[in-house]
Structure 1
Amino acid sequence: MGNAGGSLTVRSTADLRGPVERAGFTDAEDAGSPADGWQVLEVAESEERGVADLVRSTGAPVLLVTYLDSDVGFVEAAAPGGGAWEALLNRAVAEDYDIPLDQFPVEHAVGAAAAWALAAGLTPDEDLVRRALTGSAVFAEELASLLLAALGVREGS
């Protein structure tokens, strides 16, 4: 059985345990730092408004990928001053789960993701973002890593 939790990426060097818990994320564990000034935490569950609450409490950009048994990734991101967006990873597999793909338009997500990255002080690669959002992989985590690289949070592609 694959991952059913989530991966939370936050631009911060501060201890995030308190803000993450108050925002409704459970069982947060440090999963490393993909780039200077960024942290990744693995979480078991999150509240519906968890990303927005965490952005509000930290004043930092946040990106959450919630996994459906490692098959599909639901992306939710927000930044201070707006810039919230959603996307879906592993669309072909999502279709097998009867997830309505029309609720996750790719081109809107590509533009919103690039704007989010720029607002976060990153240099996004829109073609790579599109590849992450339209690609397929055995594990959705592979596409999440590609997305972070596309946004400029993590090196490599």
Structure 2
Amino acid sequence: MGDSGGMAVARATVTELREFAAEAGFDGVDVDADLGGGWSAVYCADQPGGAAAALARRTGAPVLTVAYLDSDVGFVEGATFAGGGWKALLNRETAEDYEIPVDRFPVQAALVGARDWAAAGGLTADPEGVRAALTGSEAFAEDLAERLLGALGIAPAAPGEEGA
């Protein structure tokens, strides 16, 4: 078994995102990263449902959250300040082993949401890269989350890598 917990990525400083995450009910925020271009990430032990929308309202910018199930599966939520949102599932084959109904996370809807989310953040998404992350399989869902961030136009950083 691997990590549980998750991460949040937003256009905010690391300090702001840590503060906003605490206010939104994130538990155990212990690591953060400056992703460059005004984007930051925080990593936590637990996060409440609907956290992406709460953080988007607080930051005034698009937010992406990923909640991990034993590092095997990632539940993605994207939200914008204007109220747009989307959901996706990382490691779909593994999710089926957990009997998670993957049909509740349609890839096409997630692709459209991801494109709109990236545009709202001033980013240019790579549709094929997003599709590959959403349909791919890896030993750790965190690896797919990094690929997804890259495909959305955000250079991911390993947890704790300030200024990476």
Q: TM-score, normalised by structure 2?
A: 0.90
Who is 1:99 aligned against?
A: 100
Contact 2:62 2:79 in 1 (8 A): yes
Which structure 2 residues correspond to residues 12-31 of structure 1 after superposition, within 5 A?
12-13=12-13, 14-31=15-32
Q: CA RMSD in A?
A: 1.5
Further displaced range: 13-22 or 2-11: 13-22
Unaligned 5+ runs, structure 2: 157-164
Who is 2:64 aligned against?
A: 63
Q: Secondary structure at the match of 2:36?
A: coil
Which structure 2 residues correspond to residues 1-150 of structure 1 after superposition, within 5 A?
1-13=1-13, 14-150=15-151
Q: Secondary structure at the match of 2:16?
A: coil
Contact 2:53 2:83 in 1 (8 A): no
Q: Report the count of equivalent residues.
A: 156
Q: Secondary structure at the match of 1:26?
A: coil
- In structure 1, distance between residues paired with 2:18 and 2:140: 27
Higher relative contact order (CA closer than 8 Å, sequence separation 6+): 2
Further displaced range: 41-50 or 124-133: 41-50
Letter in 1 for 2:83: G
Unaligned 5+ runs, structure 1: none
Q: Alpha-carbon deviations, 1:53-112, whole Å to 9, x = none?
A: 111112121101111001000001101102210000000000000000110000110111
Contact 2:26 2:44 in 1 (8 A): yes
Q: TM-score, normalised by structure 1?
A: 0.94
- The offset of 1:52, in angstroms, is 1.4
> Percentage identity across aligned positions?
51
Letter in 1 for 2:74: G
Q: Secondary structure at the match of 2:122?
A: coil
